[in-house]
Amino acid sequence: MTVTASELRSQIYRLLDQVVETGQPLEVERKGARLRIAVDQPRKKLDRLVTRKCIVGDPDDLVAMDWSDTWSPQP
């Protein structure tokens, strides 16, 4: 993505956050030169995952559950 120095000035925090989140460098045009703002080490996509607890209770109770009365092979 390429922006002018004026655009960078007016939206600097949004643009910097975008570079951090996506890992894509930002190019800024200034006096005929292109400057690049990039993350030093791009983050992996899996690093952005948030840990959540999906099972409330004892997971071993799920093994012993009887689903035969509600499950059907028909969609």
Q: Are 28 and 3 in contact (CB under 8 A)?
A: yes
| pTM of the predicted structure, to 2 decimals | 0.54
Q: If pLDDT is split at 50, 70 and 90, which confidence band does 51 have?
A: confident
Residue 28 is encoded by which pair of tokens? 């800024």
**Contact between residue 24 and residue 5 where contact means Cβ atoms under 8 Å apart:** no
Which pLDDT does position 4 carry in this prediction?
94
Residues in the chain, overall count:
75
- pLDDT value at position 7? 95
- Could you tell me the sign of the dihedral formed by the alpha carbons of 37, 43, 44, 47, in that order? negative
Domains along the sequence of the chain with CATH? 2-63 (3.40.1620)
Residue from 5, 10, 56, 8 nearest 33 by CA: 5
Mean predicted confidence (pLDDT) in 54-70? 81
Give the residue-averaged pLDDT of 41-62: 80
